[in-house]
Amino acid sequence: MTARILDGRAIARQITDEISAEVRAYLAAGRPQPMLAVVRLGQEPSSVRYARQIEKVFLGAGMGFRLEALPETATNDELLRVLVDLGTDQTVHGILLQLPLPPQISRDLVVDSIIPAKDVDGITALNQGHLFAGRGHYYAPATPLGGIELLRRSAIGIAGKHAVVVGRSEIVGRPLALLLLRENATVTICHSRTPELASYTRQADILAVAVGRAGLITGDMVAQGAVVVDFGVNVIDGRLLGDVDFDSVAAVAGAITPVPGGTGPMTNAMLLANTLAAARFQEASR
């Protein structure tokens, strides 16, 4: 079997085109330009590249982009001042704090200083709680949300399927499991320390992997015809690799996301969608 390739780039372009049209109509109605502010500490190369990618996507869709770049040595108080100012700035509709943070920063303290209505990557405790409860107004993290949308637009059914999520991070694995439950999948959560991991992954109709370990999942760990969604981002010898050994898994899977070009572009598309939704919500609340 040769797996069907789930082209995240093509689907993300489709979503971006749709959102661009919505933004043009929104602006034509006299509404303010939806604006995302990205907050970064330091100059780590992959974080710098990511911010540039976001800027390109947002400007291309007719939305605003603002970068708040602080030194890596910034203190909790310095970062809090920036986040509080962005929270009160009515021209800013979404706030994205780039993670991970330097060790001197209290993650919980600064994350929960972000106004939930502007938390377009769903990292605050309030947004996470609403996602868990399945009610209220909230934003789900863009990366797992993009994975769900990739499946939906690829006409891959989720309801009634056994989905195995390998990874338990607060920004991908855990919220992805909740989103899959919302779509009526039966969900098993594993992680890098799960004993006999292959005994679980081979049960999956949908296998989603978000651990951060290149090549963790190999062909012998995947059921014939399974759908494999790779959220891994690993740079090895200058190459970007996923958590899935693509060649061996593609030989047995029914569908698979490539790295790069799979879930990555979908993250930016979902940031667009969440930021536009945040702008609409904030305008309606004023």
CATH number of the domain enclosing 37 = 3.40.50.10860
The percentage of the chain sitting over the pLDDT mark of 90, rounded to a whole number, equals 94
Structural domain count, the chain: 2
Whether the CB-CB separation of 64 and 80 falls below 8 Å is answered with: no
- Return the CATH number at 241: 3.40.50.720
- The residue range of the domain holding 194 is 142-263
Binning the chain into helix, strand and coil, the percentages to the nearest 5 are: 45, 15, 40
Read off the tokens for 129.
Answer: 């709680």
For residue 3, the surrounding DSSP H or E stretch is none
- Considering the domain boundaries, does residue 190 fall inside one? yes
- C-alpha to C-alpha distance for 210 and 165, rounded to whole angstroms: 8
Residue 112 and residue 146 in one domain: no
In a domain, residue 271? The reply is no
Q: Give the CA dihedral 127, 128, 133, 139, nearest 10 degrees.
A: 40
Phi-psi region of 62 (alpha: psi -120 to 50; beta: other; left: phi over 0): left
Across-strand partners of 94? 36
Whether 129 is in a domain gets the answer no
My answer on whether 154 and 80 are in the same domain is no
Return the structure tokens found at 275.
């930021």
Q: Are residues 146 and 238 in the same domain?
A: yes
User: 166, 191 in Cβ contact below 8 A?
Assistant: yes
Q: Is residue 212 part of a domain?
A: yes
CB 154 within 8 A of CB 10: no
User: Are 257 and 181 contained in the same domain?
Assistant: yes
What gap in Å lies between CA 56 and CA 127, rounded to an integer?
Answer: 27
pLDDT in tens, 101-152: 999 999 999 999 999 999 999 999 999 999 999 988 999 999 999 999 999 9
The partner residues of 68 in beta bridges, in order of sequence, read 39
Same domain, 149 and 244: yes
Question: Does residue 282 form part of some domain?
Answer: no
Compute the distance between CA of residue 196 and CA of residue 118 in angstroms, rounded to an integer: 41
Model pLDDT, residue 2? 87
* Nearest C-alpha neighbor of 234 from the set 197, 259, 258, 209: 259
pLDDT of res. 138: 94
Asked if the model's pLDDT at residue 235 lies above 90, the reply is: no
Residue 158 near residue 147, CB atoms below 8 Å? no
Sign of CA dihedral 44, 98, 257, 230: positive
Same domain, 153 and 76: no
Q: Phi, psi (5° rounding) for residue 81?
A: -60, -40
pLDDT for res 286: 81
| pLDDT above 70: residue 56 | yes
DSSP structure class, residue 227: E
> What would the pLDDT profile of 76-104 be if each residue is shown by its tens digit?
999 999 999 999 999 999 999 999 999 99
